[in-house]
Chain A
């Protein structure tokens, strides 16, 4: 009896020891399947955030609906300045247009509403701009920002140790592409990690609860979380551009309206870059817009937002021409195009020539050549986004 008991105890001890030793290897080298990743991605793509159901788009030739991303910095800051640009309001009123802005979580969602005709234009990262340009006739006349998409991980994980980790990302966006590039730089592919599809707003909770070990996102999410959690570290960054793009049909019907909006962008960038106080004010507006959209108070103070935005703003040119002539930039965009094709985000028969034609700096050059007409060196911003409260 004693012998049987001893044997059972020995077996139990052995099992516990072996499990204990094997567990780290199991968790480290769990063979995540790409099919699982894609399944998660498809499920994520089917879910349309419920917040969009509240939007009522005015379908009228006199109303221009623009999709913006308050949680995409420093674009969010620039956009908030544009929304308060009194000169733009005046020029729009003079042309008989009413400009309305709708907040979205990512460029994929913006595209969805441009495709359905509810938006006439919007803001998106390079993957969103390319994705839309491959299936719809659009014009991409201006860069709105140049910034980094970062992969942030707990500090004990470096890029060469990312294999087998669970990584939060937003499928089909610059977050996804940056992650792909980071993995490629270490000779890995998506099959080697566990991909967890999510919106940027879900990342903090996923990180806190341990659902993910790392995430790939655009600013301000990495910046905010790096400020909050001391055990996080940026392990990889990729420069990407955010673009302003419009439906070509809309542009051909109302070219001046588009030019006025782009002039407002030029003004906003110059105004924000000219003085830190302006950046501070615009950051406050961006934080408010973000809070309004997510219905959660931001963890970021305006001064922290200024600090985060400064570097990216430095990279954002005062002359934000699209890289139509720059071979290196075009090569970078083509890489994104091929990536989107590889993940099925754009059709397999989509042509790069069509996409690259959509990127043109001519409209911006025209505005720059007529600074007086478009008043690009004048600045007048009201305190609220609503023109009636100015």
Chain B
């Protein structure tokens, strides 16, 4: 699996370097501190009065637009109050007697049976009418705010006098007036749309009293478009996108909109209905500030105010400004802060990098020096730093390196001496090794020669035994042929001689065979298998069954062990020994016992008999080939059997010995490899 880049050695080295750690720690500390300070500066401190720049500016923006809305509302109400006062003043100046005279004249003219138009044409031409209208026009020119002043009949609301020539005789159209209102000094305020340009007209009505009786109503008319537009939308604080809107209770806009409305509006033939939340809340008598979308579907900060002009006429004022424009300074401030912070961080990291370099340089120098020392250069020295702690470190290092240099030199000399000693020893050892190698080679050569000789000997043995046996067989055969050919003609002596020749050649043949066996035992490969000696004894007993029966021999064997060895050869050992015990018997029938025991980690097997025994002087000699203690006439045999036994036991790394005395039987002791340690 490919290792991640992080585990790259160079990168790890960089990460683990002191310089990087100083840079990272101080850089991070600075960034965190700066971020914390700036966050607190911008967003305030929790659980404290410190509000933070961002929130403060936001709060100021909210407060500012609230303040503007309050000012606009006060301005509006003040303006309405002034108009209300103006109306009362104008009404109080109207000459009631002249109005009554006008009424009387109208009544008289009407009784003449004139049409309405004729009546009012006539009335308008009268001096009385003209003089009152002149008075009203003087008032209009004096106030410079009113578009028209009219006097209406309080019962029928017929215009009886007007500064506008076309109005007299018409019924006054009113909105927001409770017809049953029996008010005495109550000023009605109502609105209407201008039939020409659809702008909003506001009418202030005030009763003209005679005692407690209302004789007429004075109505002054103001076209608000020229008033409200500058009043609501001039002055500082609204910015480029700011706008103040006035709506009535039906949510109709009473002012001309600054922007073209977007979708979501429904427009009547002469009205625009605003459906925004602040406008609705304001007309419902609520005041406040909210962030919402305006009629353009643009997010705005809108302060809304309820304008209770009269019991009947209640308006809503919405002062709004695009959120984007309002919060632009705040956003800019945050952006500047971020930029300044970023620059500060870069500068801080740069300065920290330099400081980190300065701080880590002596250590780096020390580290480089230590590296050189580790590579064996003890001449290296560091320049002592100006810093007190590092100066001590540097001086200690230099002193340490100097001491190390001395030690190193001393060690070098000792090593040199030892090396020379070792070289001498090495030379001696090399010589010995060479000699040993030569000896080994010589031994190997001799062993090879021996092996070849053995091979040759084996071949010779085989050939010799075969070739030697051949004339013996011929001799035996011819002796037999001679007996057959001559037969009865042979003398007793000749027969005896032929019999000697035949027996001698038979013994010679046996001797040759035994010699060959002895030779083979010496060279044959010995197997290393488990050999149960009980089976061996049984096999021997079976093989010698005829002999045992003839001699009345008795063989007793205790439980014998299983040993490691070659079954055939070990079998031969026991066969030779038991056969000898039977062969060299005394007058009593042979009694042979086979026992075994474990002693000193090896098996000792005893074969005891009650035979004729052996003179202890010959106990060792009997294991030599052709060593016979008796003549062949007494006991037949070649004298090689025990030599074969010894050879076989020796090939099993064991030993064989005999303890005996003449006439007391013999005890053959075989020692074989014991069981492996548990």
Is A240's CB under 8 angstroms from B59's CB? no
Of chain B, the residue at the smallest CB distance from A159 is B288
* Chain A residues numbered 147-164 whose CB sits less than 8 Å from any CB in chain B: 148, 155-156, 158-160
Q: Does A136 contact B (CB under 8 A)?
A: no
User: Within the complex, which residue of B55, B178, B288 is in contact with A237, where a contact is CB–CB below 8 Å?
Assistant: B288
A240 to B308, CA, bound (A): 12
Given A155-B59, A314-B77, A371-B212; A319-B311 close (CB under 8 Å): yes
A-contacting residues, B312-334, CB 8 Å? 312, 314
**B51 beta carbon closer than 8 Å to chain A:** yes
Q: Is A344's beta carbon under 8 Å from chain B?
A: no
Q: Does A378 contact B (CB under 8 A)?
A: no
A186 touches which of B59, B77, B290 (Cβ 8 Å): B290
Is A368 in the interface zone, CB < 8 Å from B? yes
The smallest C-beta distance from A312 to any residue of chain B, in angstroms, reads 10
A231 to chain B, nearest CB (A): 7
Question: Would you give the 0/1 interface string for A271-315, flagging 1 where the beta carbon is closer than 8 Å to chain B?
Answer: 000000000000000000000000000000000000000000011
A156 touches B288 (CB 8 A): no
Contact check, A185 vs B311: say whether CB atoms are below 8 A apart.
no
Per the bound structure, the CA–CA distance linking A332 and B306 in Å amounts to 14
Is the beta-carbon distance between A368 and B287 smaller than 8 angstroms? Answer: no
B44 touches A318 (CB 8 A): no
Contact A318 B186 (CB under 8 A): yes
Query: Is B95 part of the binding interface, using a Cβ–Cβ cutoff of 8 Å?
Result: no
Q: Is A233 interfacial (CB 8 A cutoff)?
A: yes
**Chain B neighbourhood of A332, CB < 8 A:** 284-285
The answer to the question of B249 belonging to the interface, with a C-beta cut-off of 8 Å to chain A, is yes
Distance in angstroms from B212 CB to nearest chain A CB is 6
Assess the A158–B59 pair: CB atoms within 8 A: yes
CA distance A314 to B309 in the complex (A): 9
Answer yes or no: B197 CB below 8 A from chain A CBs. no
C-alpha spacing A173/B604, complex, angstroms: 124
A348 at interface by CB-CB < 8 Å: no
CB-defined contacts of B310 to chain A, threshold 8 Å: 317
Q: Name the interface residues of B54-92: CB closer than 8 Å to any CB of A.
A: 55, 59, 62-63, 77, 81
- Pair B291/A237 contact, Cβ less than 8 Å: no
> What's the dominant secondary structure at chain A's contact region?
mixed
B residues less than 8 Å from A52 (CB atoms) = none
Across-interface contacts of B287 in A (CB, < 8 A): 148, 236-239
- With A314-B81, A368-B182 as given contacts, are A185 and B281 in contact (CB-CB < 8 Å)? yes
Cα-based distance from A24 to B290 in the complex (angstroms):
24
Closest Cβ of chain A: how far from B303's Cβ, in Å?
11
CA distance A314 to B183 in the complex (A): 17
Q: Please name all residues of chain B whose beta carbon is closer than 8 Å to the beta carbon of A23 when the two chains form the complex.
A: 46-47
Question: B541-588: which residues lie under 8 A (CB-CB) from chain A?
Answer: none
Least distance between A250 CB and chain B CB atoms (Å): 25
A349 at the interface (CB under 8 A from B): no
Q: Does B185 contact A (CB under 8 A)?
A: yes
**Does A114 sit within 8 A of B, measured CB to CB?**
no
A388 at the interface (CB under 8 A from B): no
From 336 to 390 in chain A, residues with beta carbon under 8 angstroms from any chain B beta carbon are 365, 368-369, 371-372, 377
Distance (whole angstroms) from the CB of B122 to the closest CB of chain A: 36
Q: Are B51 and A182 in contact (CB under 8 A)?
A: no
Q: Are B286 and A181 in contact (CB under 8 A)?
A: yes
A23, B284: Cα distance in complex, Å? 39
Among the 9-residue stretches A32-40, A83-91, A198-206, A321-329, the one with 4 or more Cβ atoms under 8 Å from chain B is: A321-329
Instruction: Tell me, in angstroms, the Cα distance from A182 to B287 when the chains sit together.
Output: 9
Interface: B166 (CB within 8 A):
no
Can you list, as one digit per residue, whether each of B292-314 has a CB less than 8 Å from chain A (1) or not (0)? 00000000000000101011101
A235 at the interface (CB under 8 A from B): yes
Residue B600 at the chain A interface, CB threshold 8 Å: no
> Which B residues touch A155, using CB under 8 A?
51, 59, 63
* Contact indicator per residue, chain B 171-191, by CB within 8 Å of chain A (1) or not (0): 000000010111111100000
CB-based contact B186/A326 at 8 Å: no
- Given A24-B46, A158-B62, A231-B49, also A369-B182 (CB < 8 A): yes
Q: B55 contacts A319, CB within 8 Å? A: no
The reply to whether the CB of B289 lies closer than 8 angstroms to some CB of chain A is: yes
With an 8 A cutoff between CB atoms, is A111 at the interface? no
User: Does A318 contact B185, Cβ atoms closer than 8 Å?
Assistant: yes
Residues of A within 8 A of B306 (CB): 237, 239
Residues of B within 8 A of A216 (CB): none
Is there a chain A Cβ closer than 8 Å to B277's Cβ? yes
Residues of A with C-beta under 8 A to B288: 159, 182, 185, 235-237
A371 x B311 contact (CB < 8 A): no
Across the interface, do A159 and B185 meet the contact criterion of CB distance under 8 Å? no
In the complex, which residues 225-271 of chain A have their Cβ closer than 8 Å to any Cβ of chain B?
231, 233, 235-240
CB of A146 within 8 Å of the partner chain: yes
* Chain A residues with CB under 8 A of B178: 325
Q: In the complex, what's the smallest C-beta–C-beta distance from B351 to chain A, in angstroms?
A: 28
Distance in angstroms between the alpha carbons of A315 and B181 in the assembled complex? 18
User: Do residues A239 and B285 form an inter-chain contact, with CB atoms below 8 A?
Assistant: yes
A23 to B286, CA, bound (A): 35
Determine the chain A residues whose CB is within 8 A of the CB of B181 once the complex forms. Answer: 319, 321, 365
A residues less than 8 Å from B59 (CB atoms) = 155-156, 158
Set of chain B residues within 8 Å of A323, measured between Cβ atoms: 311
Name B286's contact: one of A160, A238, A319 (CB within 8 Å): A238
Contact between A159 and B285, CB atoms less than 8 A apart: no
Q: Are A368 and B286 in contact (CB under 8 A)?
A: no
Which A residues between 99 and 114 are near B, CB-CB below 8 angstroms? none
**CA A106 to CA B285, docked complex, whole Å:** 22
CB distance from B647 to the nearest CB of A (A): 78
Residues of A within 8 A of B284 (CB): 332
How distant is the Cα of A201 from the Cα of B306 in the complex, in angstroms?
Answer: 28
B contact residues around A159 at 8 Å (CB): 288-290
Q: Are A185 and B290 in contact (CB under 8 A)?
A: yes
Closest to A327 in B: B249
* Contact code string A124-166 (vs B, CB < 8 Å = 1, else 0): 0000000000000000000000101000000110111000000
Mark interface residues in B101-119 (1 if CB within 8 Å of A CB, else 0).
0000000000000000000
For window 180-233 of A, CB contacts with B under 8 Å fall at 181-182, 185-186, 231, 233
How many angstroms between the C-alpha atoms of A181 and B288 in the bound complex? 11
CB distance from A262 to the nearest CB of B (A): 14
A231 to B63, CA, bound (A): 12
Within 8 A of A (CB), among B264-293: 277, 281, 283-291
| Contact A328–B249 (Cβ < 8 Å) | yes
Which chain B positions have C-beta within 8 A of A231?
49
B62 neighbours in A (Cβ, 8 Å): 158
Partner of A160, one of B77, B281, B290: B290
CA distance A129 to B392 in the complex (A): 92
Task: Please judge, given known A-B contacts A24-B46, A158-B62, A315-B308, whether A365 and B182 are in contact too, CB under 8 Å.
Answer: yes
CB distance from B68 to the nearest CB of A (A): 15
A239 and B46 contact, CB distance less than 8 A:
no
CA gap between A181 and B281 in the complex, in Å: 10
Query: In angstroms, how far is the closest chain A Cβ from the Cβ of B191?
Result: 15
Query: Which residues of chain A have C-beta atoms less than 8 A from B283's C-beta?
Result: 328
**A231 vs B77: C-alpha distance when bound (angstroms):** 28
B277 touches A185 (CB 8 A): yes
CA distance A233 to B180 in the complex (A): 42
Minimum Cβ distance to chain B for residue A300 (Å): 21
Report the nearest A residue to B51, measured CB to CB: A156
The 0/1 profile, CB within 8 Å of B marked 1, for residues 15-59 of chain A is 000000001100000000000000000000000000000000000
Q: Pull 24 A–B residue pairs with CB atoms less than 8 Å apart, ordered by A.
A: A156-B55, A158-B62, A159-B290, A181-B286, A185-B288, A186-B290, A231-B49, A235-B288, A237-B288, A238-B286, A239-B285, A239-B306, A314-B81, A317-B311, A318-B185, A318-B186, A319-B311, A321-B311, A332-B284, A365-B181, A365-B182, A368-B182, A368-B184, A369-B182
Nearest first, the 6 A-B pairs at minimum CB distance are A239-B285, A237-B287, A236-B288, A24-B46, A315-B308, A369-B182
Residues of A within 8 A of B (CB): 23-24, 146, 148, 155-156, 158-160, 181-182, 185-186, 231, 233, 235-240, 314-315, 317-319, 321, 323, 325-326, 328, 332, 365, 368-369, 371-372, 377
